[in-house]
Amino acid sequence: MKIAGLDIGTTGCKCTVFDEKGAYLGKAYRDYPVRRSVGGHEMDVSAIMEGVFGVLREMAGQYPDIAGIGVTSFGETFVMTDGEGKPLHTAMLYTDPRGARQCARLREKIGEKEIARITGLRPHEMYSISKLMWIRENRPEVYEKAAYVFLMEDYVVYHLTGVRQIDYSLATRTMAFDISSLTWSREIFEAAEIDVSKMSAPVPTGTDAGKILESAAEEIGLSPDCHVISVSHDQVAAAVGAGVFDSSVAVDGAGTVECVTPVFDAMPDVDVMYNGYFSIVPYVIPGKYVAYAFSYTGGALMQWCTDTLAKKEKELAKEAGCSVNEYLEQAYRGERAEEPSGLLVLPHFAGAATPYMDTGSRGAILGLTTDTSAADLYRACMEGVVYEMKLNVDALEGSGARFTSMHATGGGAHSAVWMQMKADMLNVPITALKTVDAGTVGSAMLTGIAIGVFADLEDAAKHMVEKTVTYEPRLKMHEKYMEIYRRYAKVYDAVRPLMGTDPV
């Protein structure tokens, strides 16, 4: 018996297969195009289904006894379909600028704070409901013809099972879900003038949608007894895959985007969360919640640094038989040991996420001299990402977040230098996990629980969450970083007025 995690992302999807003991067996990946223009950012959801069926066929060809497939996806993006589930338009991504005026009208009708109280989200046009309003007003022929509205998780689950259900965590990304009653908010749908009956039924994270359709099973090569599970929004799946189940531990997602995900044992303080643009998301454990504190550029900033500023070092790293990242880390250590760089890097190279949510902000590097090397800049970029996370952790103060340790996932968790820096700066022990892809692990864990392979979360974690090394904070280094951090905390306010781009 095998279990699989299907992870649907904005640029590609992957299916990872594990055995009944939680051991990794194999993975398949397909990418699909995203269209970006001045007026909109769109994707063809038919291409997503082609990718999904492609990865499932590849894995079924190797492991035809897959007994359960858990589906997790990115958030916000939706598609309206006819009664047979056929798309009626290309889907708008969360970065699509359309929906701003509609979101402003919702704010006026209901009030920002009331929307935040109901949905756990500070209003923003990135969320689905504003873009649904845009379609109703600008493409009424699509809206009137539409029988269903799907986000990507429930869209895929529907095409695999014929069941329309969406888990609570992904439903929150619409900005139309009541996180207290765990139902669609009729007040918001009525104010938006959107028919709530078009939405899928909200269900708890990790709910079994039933057996795969015979037609889908035959096309993929799976048994018709294979079950499909509605897992969650991808960040929630990553928290599960990191083995984080209570408020004492937070997730450090060290991927392309840097994301800290704390767990709350009760409803967080709504005002604190509102001020920092932090989401309040129902977690897999009833009565508990998670939040997302994130920077758009985590590993992406490291990639920019190596691609743009370290071309010579790439050649030297190749000669030395190591990655350019390792080469730059070693070069810095050889010159400066572990002293902070002293440079200030504002990592807003793709705009600012929490606690600002300012897409008009831009990156900045302060403190350069003619002696500054590529290794110095690389180190400073690493520091800038962590300073930004420290800023987010400080902004969560008073919300109810009380973690005293962290579990790190993603490619960045393999950098001992970066992990130690985070432990020192945030002043908490950080344990790196073996898996890079906690999302598919979490999806498979919840799938295993749903079909009876694992008894519960703790049992699944024993089988699938593997810790490697723990980095303990060092007081002297923490104090050195905090001297610089006090200056870093002033950088955004100092340079933002000089950038000229309007905040969104």
- Tens of pLDDT along 366-391? 999 999 999 999 999 999 999 999 99
Least confident stretch, 12-21, 31-40, 176-185: 31-40
d(CA 132, CA 102): 9
Of 15, 18, 16, 14, the closest CA to residue 3 belongs to 18
Owner of token pair 């918001």: 188
- pLDDT, residue 32, reads 86
Least confident stretch, 51-65, 202-216, 336-350, 380-394: 336-350
Chain centre to alpha carbon of residue 91: 19
Tell me the average pLDDT across 193-219: 98
> 38 or 337: which carries more pLDDT confidence?
337
| pLDDT classification of 94: cutoffs 50, 70, 90 | confident
Is 159's pLDDT higher than 50? yes
- pLDDT, residue 504, reads 45
d(CA 233, CA 281): 10
d(CA 24, CA 6): 14
- On whether the CB atoms of residues 431 and 406 are closer than 8 A, the answer is yes
Of 128, 150, 151, 138, the closest CA to residue 84 belongs to 150
Contacts of 323-328 with CB under 8 Å at 24 or more apart are: 325/378, 325/415, 328/374, 328/375, 328/378, 328/379
Tell me the average pLDDT across 148-176: 98
| pLDDT classification of 91: cutoffs 50, 70, 90 | very high
Tens of pLDDT along 220-276? 999 999 999 999 999 999 999 999 999 999 999 988 889 999 999 999 999 999 999
Tens of pLDDT along 308-353? 999 999 999 999 999 999 999 999 988 788 899 999 999 999 899 9
Is 503's pLDDT higher than 70? no
| pLDDT classification of 360: cutoffs 50, 70, 90 | confident
- pLDDT, residue 227, reads 98
Is 10's pLDDT higher than 50? yes
Please tell me the pTM assigned to this model.
0.92
In sequence order, what E strands does 313-435 have? 344-346, 364-366, 405-409, 430-433
> Mean pLDDT of all residues in the chain?
94
Provide the 8-state DSSP code for 74.
-
Residue 297, classified by CB atoms within 10 Å of its CB into exposed (0-12), middle (13-18) or buried (19+), is: buried
- pLDDT, residue 95, reads 79
Is 436's pLDDT higher than 80? no
- On whether the CB atoms of residues 135 and 80 are closer than 8 A, the answer is yes
d(CA 474, CA 369): 29
Chain centre to alpha carbon of residue 104: 25
d(CA 458, CA 454): 9
- pLDDT, residue 256, reads 84
CA quadruple 314, 315, 320, 325: dihedral, nearest 10: 0
Where residue 384 falls (left for φ over 0; alpha for ψ -120 to 50; beta otherwise) is alpha
Is 84's pLDDT higher than 80? yes
- CB atoms inside a 10 Å sphere around CB 249: 21
φ, ψ (nearest 5 deg) of residue 289: -135, 160
Tens of pLDDT along 442-492? 999 999 999 999 999 999 999 999 999 999 999 999 999 999 999 999 999
Length of the chain: 504
- pLDDT, residue 437, reads 84
- pLDDT, residue 40, reads 64
Least confident stretch, 41-45, 165-169, 301-305, 381-385: 41-45
- pLDDT, residue 96, reads 85
- pLDDT, residue 211, reads 98
- pLDDT, residue 499, reads 87
Of 68, 153, 59, the closest CA to residue 447 belongs to 68
Tell me the average pLDDT across 176-184: 98
Preceding amide of 355 cis, omega within 30: yes
- On whether the CB atoms of residues 211 and 224 are closer than 8 A, the answer is yes
- pLDDT, residue 177, reads 98
Tell me the average pLDDT across 292-300: 92
Is 35's pLDDT higher than 80? no
